[in-house]
């Protein structure tokens, strides 16, 4: 879609997104593409915010059922898009929570393997993402990252840091991991 | 002819005797009419109640089917999402592409058919998860022709994890609704 001069409505829409993001009325999520975040409005419209390697930021609105692109604006035409991207990025990556975790020497999973013997999957990222307020409570099962060896009882072997100390734990499949 | 006249003549006094019973017959007839009317009203009432009960049973059955189907569809989506997690670990991009497209289809169809049973926030979450999974599908088709960087894989794992969380939340809510529905039916 060719980007044209933004209309008053476009600017109003960017401001709406900015306000809603700051008030956490909209929940942004990361996408698999580098520098891209997404959310859904009114259970129908998908919004993408993408930052390229050349620092060009694009805001796109698409009609989800048809995939038709409805709007595409850039930070060059609407400066608020840059502020919006920063708020979106911080919310989607839980930056404030991570900063708190670092400053307070909070709970961090350093390694976590789910499986048995040589058949395992690395679930450290999953577990770190599930930490809330320095606590982790998660059911140990295939929902973590699929079943690395079917029809066999597996376990979760993890190493974590909490208040500058390192700990190790092994939890069997079907049990609940509760940290710290 | 003579015999017939004789027999008919013999009957005439008997029919006259019947006149003595007419008031009693009237009373019995009136009572039967009243009873018939009452019975008709009773039948109508019973039929009305039966219709109402049948409608309630049909609504309950439809509602149960609706919730169960939502749970089943989201359960299928969750199982496929779990498989995608493992496929990402194994770099099986073609399979990831196919599975994620399947999940997107399942989720969208479930939301279109039965989504109104869920919270607005949960539905929005599922729709966002489908968008996230589509970006995984798009990205995975790139990796068929080139090696992915650790950062790209990390981004994919994070996206999968968040999408999985959103669909799990919806499944949890759908199960809760189903249980509540079953409890209400049991009461």
* Domain positions in chain B: 64-186
| Minimal-distance CA residue of chain A relative to B115 | A43
For residue B139, give the nearest of A32, A126, A144 by CB distance. A32
Q: Mean pLDDT over residues A137-152, rounded? A: 82
Closest residue in A to B84 (Cα–Cα): A146
The answer for residues whose C-beta is within 8 angstroms of residue A112's C-beta and 6 or more apart is: A122, A123, A124, A126, A127, A156, A157, A158, A159
Q: If you count residue pairs, one on A and one on B, with CB atoms under 8 Å apart, how many are there?
A: 94
d(CA B89, CA A121): 7
According to CATH, the superfamily of the domain at B64-186 is IL-4 antagonist (De novo design) like domain (1.20.120.660)
CA separation for the pair B118, B114 (Å, rounded): 8
Record: contact A129-B158, CB cut-off 8 A: yes
Residue A115 φ/ψ, nearest 5 degrees: 155, -150
Strands A108-116 and A45-51, bridge-based pairing? unpaired
**A28 confidence band (pLDDT: 50, 70, 90):** very high
Min distance A130 CA to chain B CA atoms (Å): 9
Q: What is the full per-residue pLDDT of chain B (187 aa) written as tens digits?
A: 455 555 555 555 566 676 777 778 888 888 888 888 888 888 888 888 888 888 877 776 666 666 568 899 999 999 999 889 888 888 888 899 999 999 999 999 999 888 888 889 999 999 999 999 999 998 888 877 778 888 888 888 889 988 988 998 899 888 888 888 777 767 6
Whether residues A38 and B132 touch (CB distance < 8 A) is answered with yes
Tell me the C-alpha distance between B111 and A74, whole Å: 32
Helix (H, G, I), strand (E, B) or coil at B187: coil
- Contact criterion met (CB below 8 Å) for B140 and B97: yes
Q: What residues in B contact A131, CB-CB < 8 Å? A: none
Closest to B134 (Cα-Cα) out of A48, A14, A141: A48
CB B107 within 8 A of CB B167: yes
Nearest CA in chain B to A122: B89
CA gap B123, A107 in Å, rounded: 31
Q: Please give the Cα distance from B11 to A79 (Å, whole number).
A: 117
The vertex-B59 CA angle with B58 and B60, nearest 5°, equals 90
Strand order in the sheet with A29-30: A29-30, A36-41, A45-51, A57-63, A68-74
Chain A residues within 8 angstroms (CB to CB) of chain B: 27, 29-34, 36, 38-40, 43-44, 46, 64, 121-122, 125-126, 129, 142-148
Nearest CA in chain B to A121: B89
* Confidence (pLDDT) at B1: 47
* Cβ–Cβ under 8 Å, residues A83 and A76: no
Q: What are phi and psi of B88, to 5 degrees?
A: -65, -40
> Residue A91: which pLDDT band, with cuts at 50, 70 and 90?
very high
Report chain A residues whose CB lies below 8 A from the CB of B132: 29-32, 38
Inter-chain CB proximity A31 and B83 less than 8 Å: no
Q: How far is CA A5 from CA A2, A71, A73, A131, in A?
A: 10, 11, 9, 43
A82-94 exposure pattern, b = at least 16 Cβ within 10 A, e = fewer: eebbebbbbbbbe
* Chain A residues close to B89, C-beta within 8 Å: 121-122, 145-146, 148
Q: Enter the ipTM.
A: 0.73
Q: Residue ranges of the alpha helices (H) in A115-157?
A: 124-130
Residue A18 tokens, joined: 């900015």
**Which of A30, A34, A64 is nearest residue B162 as measured by Cβ atoms?**
A30
Searching chain A, which residue's CA lies closest to the CA of residue B85?
A145
Query: Model-level pTM?
Result: 0.69
Q: What's the pLDDT score for residue A62? A: 93
Q: Could you tell me what percent of chain A has a pLDDT over 90?
A: 39
Instruction: Tell me which of A25, A32, A62 to substitute to probe the interface with B (most B C-beta atoms closer than 10 Å).
Output: A32
pLDDT of A175 > 50? The answer is yes
């Amino acid at each position: 879609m060719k980007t044209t001069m933004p209309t008053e409505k476009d600017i109003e829409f960017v401001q709406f997104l900015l306000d809603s993001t700051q008030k956490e009325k909209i929940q942004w999520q990361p996408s698999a593409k580098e520098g891209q975040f997404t959310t859904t409005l009114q259970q129908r419209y998908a919004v993408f915010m993408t930052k390229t390697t050349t620092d060009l930021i694009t805001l796109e609105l698409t009609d989800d059922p048809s995939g038709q692109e409805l709007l595409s604006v850039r930070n060059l035409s609407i400066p608020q898009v840059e502020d919006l991207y920063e708020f979106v990025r911080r919310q989607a990556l839980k930056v404030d929570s991570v900063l708190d975790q670092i400053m307070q020497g909070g709970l961090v999973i350093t390694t976590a393997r789910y499986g048995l013997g040589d058949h395992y999957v690395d679930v450290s990222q999953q577990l770190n993402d599930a930490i809330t307020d320095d606590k982790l409570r998660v059911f140990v099962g295939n929902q973590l990252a699929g079943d690395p060896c079917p029809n066999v009882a597996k376990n979760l072997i993890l190493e974590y840091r909490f208040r500058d100390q390192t700990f190790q734990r092994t939890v069997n499949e079907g049990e609940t991991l509760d940290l710290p | 002819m003579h015999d017939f006249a004789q027999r008919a003549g013999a009957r005439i006094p008997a029919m006259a005797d019947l006149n003595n019973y007419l008031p009693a017959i009237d009373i019995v007839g009136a009572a039967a009419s009243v009873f018939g009317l009452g019975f008709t009203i009773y039948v109508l009432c019973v039929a009305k109640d039966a219709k109402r009960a049948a409608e309630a049973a049909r609504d309950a059955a439809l509602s149960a089917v609706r919730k169960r189907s939502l749970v089943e569809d989201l359960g299928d989506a969750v199982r496929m999402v779990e498989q995608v997690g493992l496929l990402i670990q194994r770099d099986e991009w073609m399979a990831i592409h196919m599975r994620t497209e399947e999940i997107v289809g399942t989720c969208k169809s479930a939301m279109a058919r039965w989504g109104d049973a869920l919270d607005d926030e949960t539905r929005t979450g599922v729709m966002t998860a489908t968008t996230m999974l589509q970006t995984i599908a798009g990205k995975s088709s790139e990796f068929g022709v080139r090696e992915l960087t650790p950062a790209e894989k990390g981004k994919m794992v994070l996206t999968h994890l968040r999408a999985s969380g959103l669909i799990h939340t919806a499944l949890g809510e759908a199960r809760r609704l189903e249980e509540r529905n079953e409890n209400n039916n049991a009461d």
